[in-house]
Amino acid sequence: MKRIIAYIFLTFGAITANADKWVRDAEPAILEVHYTRTEVYDTTMRTSRFSKDPVILRVGKNKSVFFGAKNLWTDSIMAVDPATFWEIDRARVMSDKRDDTQLLSGHYWSYVYKNIPDGKLTERDYFDLERWQYTEDWEKPEWEISDDTKEIIGYQCFKATTDYRGRRWTAWFSPEIPVQEGPWKLCGLPGLILEAYDTDKNYHFEADGLKQNPNSEVGIFTYKERRGYITVTRDKFFNNWWKFKQSNFAAKMNAAYGVGPKATPEDNKPNIVHYDKEETDYPHDL
């Protein structure tokens, strides 16, 4: 396992050194912000059914990208040396300490590209055994700013609220960092958003640190492009995700790959899903 870990760092170093080969429509990043993203994936069991992921926001002069740190790592390793990835995963599976928190790719698999292409927002994700993407007009939240303040990672922050994409969001932003950016699709305030959450904190983003001029690129990651994406509308993208969450994924894996339990008549009944995406204002019944 120690040998595998050492190889991880060597491989990731090689990927970083050749990062321009894996990014298109790129511009230099001027800021990189690291957050912890918490997602409650069963609102009936909030204290036990949640995930935490390290996520990253890279900001350029004109555009930005938001992604899961672990997911980018696994995508890049798979592109350069897939045998190493599967060796690492086998070691994880065989470990006595294996649990859901050790998922190598993390739980956040989306890539959110703001102002790519110009004036648009593009999101890519993987679910239901397919790679999906959509592009929409870049709709920024409209905020109400209050006088409430608090300090986050050493920066004075002000409170702002908005109704955006079906949820009520609270954000804490710092005018000391004069970029109108933030995690996920949240942006448009006179300073960087360092913390944000919806009313029930089903989704919560908390900044851990930031780096100026991080020697990285902002653009479309191309690790999976050769395997292709299915392009759909935004409504179809989220509706497909909703239908996937209501289906029996284990039965699908059995049908596709012969692994897991076989389908039973009960599998035709939809699952009861006790949560939704960050945005909920899409048709759930297409």
- Return the pLDDT at 226: 78
Distance from CA of residue 199 to its chain's centroid? 20
CATH tag, 2-227:
2.50.20
The pTM of the full predicted model, rounded to 2 decimals, is 0.87
User: Residue 89: its pLDDT value, please?
Assistant: 65
Lookup: tokens for 19: 């990062």
- pLDDT under 50 in the chain at which residues? 1-18
Burial of 87 (0-12, 13-18, 19+ CB in 10 A): middle
The pLDDT value given to residue 260: 58
| Backbone conformation region of residue 93, classed left if phi is above 0, alpha if psi is from -120 to 50, else beta | alpha
Name the burial class of residue 76, with classes exposed (0-12), middle (13-18) and buried (19+) by CB atoms within 10 angstroms of its CB.
buried
Whether the ω angle into residue 117 lies within 30 degrees of 0, i.e. cis, is: yes
| 34 bridge partner residues | 56, 209
Chain CA centroid to CA 204, Å: 12
Q: What is the pLDDT of residue 263?
A: 56
Cβ contacts of 195-198, under 8 Å, gap ≥ 24: 195/152, 195/157, 195/171, 196/169, 196/170, 196/171, 196/172, 197/169, 197/170, 198/167, 198/168, 198/169, 198/170, 198/278
H helices present in the chain, as ranges: 2-17, 69-80, 82-94, 234-246, 249-257
Question: Quick one: pLDDT at residue 206?
Answer: 98
**Residue type at position 124:** R
Q: Which SS3 state, helix, strand or coil, does residue 162 take?
A: strand
Predicted local distance difference test score (pLDDT) of residue 134: 98
Separation CA 48–CA 44 (nearest Å): 10
